[in-house]
Amino acid sequence: MQNLGLIDTHAHLYSDKFEEDRSEMMQRAFDAGLSHIFLPNIDSSSIEPMLALEAAYPQQCFAMMGLHPCSVGKNMEEELALVKNWLEKRPFVAVGEIGLDYYWSMEFVEEQKEAFRRQSRWAMQLNLPIVIHARDSIDDLIELVEELQKEGPLRGVFHCFTGTLEQAQKIIELGFYLGFGGVLTFKKAGLDQLIPHLPLSKIVIETDAPYLSPTPKRGKRNESAYLLYVAQKMADIKGISLEELAQTLKTNSLALFDLSVLEDRIAFKSDL
């Protein structure tokens, strides 16, 4: 496969789901034409494996730092203190992934909102984008972003977007990008009806590996090489070549994630 320069803007390739074949999996991604892979953090347990993967592939893998809403609980203050410490210790490409998740539990909703506000403010202070997890919570997150933008310039991406056209248009008006992954290839998802109405200039693509494998790999472990299926589907919907799509999405992704902030990046290991 030629080097298309595809960029996976959201992948958890440090997951233990890749423990047995990680190097082979990474090579498959490069063979599929990927040039960059962005790694969102989950919580304190994922920092060390994430940074180890970034250190192993410093030209291709780029780490973010943040606390995932599903990891917000009674120890939130400890977790957020760790995130803040890391953001002060070394450069990251983004604060993420952060947001609200109403799918699994509503127990810590107010804590999730507080964690989102706090991490978003850190992102603004550092002039970094945020990567938003918005499961069953898009409207509340739009409201929070609007609230925070009154304090300063907040930018980023709503990852794994599966909302409505109205929500998508509002997000774009706020200056955010929309991230699309494997769900785009699902026949019943309806995203193929949404995409034609959205400007390609505000779209990026992702895998969210090891989750949400695209058709025809649905039900199997996802990996970054499968981004090709998402890209091809997007190109088909937009009526352009895969090469043209890849070039535009690369421009978008590198506008979203400014790699120049990493010029002084050092391969740290967690000191937990």
Dig out the tokens for 72 from the structure: 């917000």
Strand partners, 204: 179
User: Given pLDDT bands bounded at 50, 70 and 90, which one contains residue 161?
Assistant: very high
Q: pTM of the full predicted structure?
A: 0.95
Distance, first Cα to last Cα, the chain: 40
Best CA proximity match to 50, nearest among 68, 32, 34: 68
- Strands 34-39 and 61-63, sheet pairing: parallel
Q: Is 159 annotated as a binding residue?
A: yes
Q: Is 133 annotated as a binding residue?
A: yes
Cβ contacts of 130 within 8 Å, gap of 6 or more: 66, 94, 95, 96, 98, 119, 120, 123, 154, 155, 156, 157
* Peptide bond just before 210 cis, omega within 30 deg: yes
**% the chain with pLDDT above 90:** 93
pLDDT tens profile 164-205: 999 999 999 999 999 999 999 999 999 999 999 999 999 999
pLDDT tens profile 225-270: 999 999 999 999 999 999 999 999 999 999 999 999 887 665 544 4
CA–CA distances in Å: residue 175 to residues 50, 106, 258 = 28, 28, 16
Domain boundaries, the chain: 6-262
Q: Is 68 annotated as a binding residue?
A: no
Mean pLDDT of the region 16-36 = 98
Length of the chain: 272
Strand partners, 6: 34
pLDDT of residue 272: 38
Question: Tokens 């810590």 identify what position?
Answer: 108
Domain 6-262 has CATH 3.20.20.140: yes
Q: Is 197 annotated as a binding residue?
A: no
Mean pLDDT of the region 24-31 = 98
